């Protein structure tokens, strides 16, 4: 068992990784914070009608989801960037730790800590902006009683804000949407991280190119993943009927991230023995 996982050895691996990478993480966080701050300033300075639609509840959800999706994919691609250098790659692979421990460290940083850090940063930077927008909002003079005058500035917190407030959207549908996004996100992170380990030369470029060609092939043959248990997100798609369909759908959307993260484990193992 100690060859597979040892807590003391994992702690040493964690400290070594953090000592080597904290500057890169700080740089990445700084760039993200700067982009977010610039976006906030642009939103305030260009909204001449002072309706601040960018800070309405629905827009906050889109802002959070879009920012997390893009930044998480970039972060996943950068986590194993040192493996492009043969010398650094050799040092990393020979570091005293099992393949599982190296994989677990990657999963913790990519799949858990980054979304949490992004969410905390988003809340700290965007909450004051939303409150300022709410205080500065001016009801249109010709629309005192219409829906535009009742904008929702409730602050969005993932999985804690359980309803869409004044928008009247279905609570269950909203929660399903968030779960689906998180499953899609972790699957995408695993694909990007796995590709950067699998390809030894130009890993990011080859991973993106592979995904692009796969998307073209799927569009050509008319094959697209079905939402299954999340079909209620789209009223035009039928919700699966029967236990068998529900079982297959759950197996797909829960099994896909598991399979992709498992693939990363075997890619790391292959690089270590090669």
Summarize pLDDT for 80-107 with one digit per residue, the tens.
888 777 666 666 666 778 889 999 999 9
Are residues 153 and 206 in contact, defined by beta-carbon separation less than 8 angstroms? no
Structure-block tokens of residue 27: 């740089």
The span from the CA of 264 to the CA of 202, in Å, is 17
Structure-block tokens of residue 69: 């999706």
* Secondary-structure percent of the chain, ordered helix, strand, coil, rounded to 5: 75, 0, 25
Residue-level pLDDT at 119: 95
- Give the model confidence (pLDDT) of 149-206 as tens digits: 567 788 998 888 765 544 455 677 788 888 889 999 999 999 999 999 988 888 888 8
Which residue has better confidence, 213 or 123? Answer: 123
Residue whose C-alpha is closest to residue 101's, from 200, 9, 193: 9
Residue-level pLDDT at 166: 46
Are residues 189 and 207 in contact, defined by beta-carbon separation less than 8 angstroms? no
The span from the CA of 160 to the CA of 141, in Å, is 34
The span from the CA of 145 to the CA of 248, in Å, is 48
User: Does the structure show a pLDDT above 60 at 239?
Assistant: no
pLDDT over 90 percentage in the chain: 36
Residue-level pLDDT at 31: 94
Structure-block tokens of residue 211: 């995904």
Structure-block tokens of residue 180: 């689906």
Give per-residue burial for 92-113: e unless 16+ CB within 10 Å, then b. bbeeebbbebbbbbbbebbbee
- Compute the C-alpha angle 98/13/83, nearest 5°: 75
Residue-level pLDDT at 165: 47
244 falls in which pLDDT band (50, 70, 90)? low
> What is the mean predicted confidence (pLDDT) over 15-37?
92
Which residue has better confidence, 51 or 188? Answer: 188
Q: Please tell me the total number of residues recorded for the chain in this structure.
A: 274
Residue-level pLDDT at 5: 86
Which residue has better confidence, 246 or 34? Answer: 34
Region of poorest pLDDT, from 28-37, 65-74, 176-185 = 176-185
Region of poorest pLDDT, from 99-113, 135-149, 196-210 = 135-149
Which residue has better confidence, 10 or 220? Answer: 10
**Whole-prediction pTM:** 0.85
Residue whose C-alpha is closest to residue 271's, from 104, 111, 90: 90
The span from the CA of 17 to the CA of 97, in Å, is 12
The span from the CA of 233 to the CA of 173, in Å, is 6
Region of poorest pLDDT, from 7-21, 30-44, 240-254 = 240-254
Residue whose C-alpha is closest to residue 68's, from 129, 133, 121, 125: 121
Sign of CA dihedral 42, 46, 52, 54: negative
The span from the CA of 221 to the CA of 70, in Å, is 27
The span from the CA of 200 to the CA of 270, in Å, is 12
């Amino acid at each position: 068992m100690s060859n597979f996982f040892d807590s003391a050895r994992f702690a040493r691996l964690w400290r070594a990784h953090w000592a080597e990478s904290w500057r890169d993480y700080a740089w990445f966080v700084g760039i993200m914070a700067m982009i977010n701050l610039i976006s906030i300033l642009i939103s305030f300075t260009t909204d001449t009608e002072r309706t601040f639609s960018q800070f309405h509840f629905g827009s906050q959800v889109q802002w959070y989801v879009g920012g997390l999706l893009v930044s998480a994919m970039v972060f996943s691609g950068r986590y194993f960037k040192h493996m492009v250098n043969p010398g650094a790659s050799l040092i990393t692979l020979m570091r005293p730790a099992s393949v599982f421990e190296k994989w677990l460290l990657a999963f913790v940083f990519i799949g858990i800590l980054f979304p949490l850090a992004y969410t905390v940063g988003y809340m700290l930077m965007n909450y004051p902006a939303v409150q300022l927008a709410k205080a500065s909002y001016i009801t249109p003079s010709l629309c005192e009683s219409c829906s535009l005058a009742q904008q929702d500035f409730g602050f969005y917190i993932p999985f804690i804000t359980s309803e869409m407030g004044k928008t009247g959207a279905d609570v269950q549908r909203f929660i399903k949407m968030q779960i689906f996004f998180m499953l899609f996100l972790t699957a995408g992170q695993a694909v990007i991280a796995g590709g950067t380990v699998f390809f030894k030369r130009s890993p990011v470029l080859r991973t993106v190119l592979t995904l692009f060609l796969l998307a073209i092939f799927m569009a050509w043959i008319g094959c697209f993943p079905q939402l299954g248990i999340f079909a209620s997100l789209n009223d035009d798609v039928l919700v699966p009927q029967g236990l068998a369909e529900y079982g297959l759908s759950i197996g797909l959307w829960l099994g896909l991230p598991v399979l992709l993260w498992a693939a990363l484990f075997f890619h790391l193992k292959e690089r270590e023995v090669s």
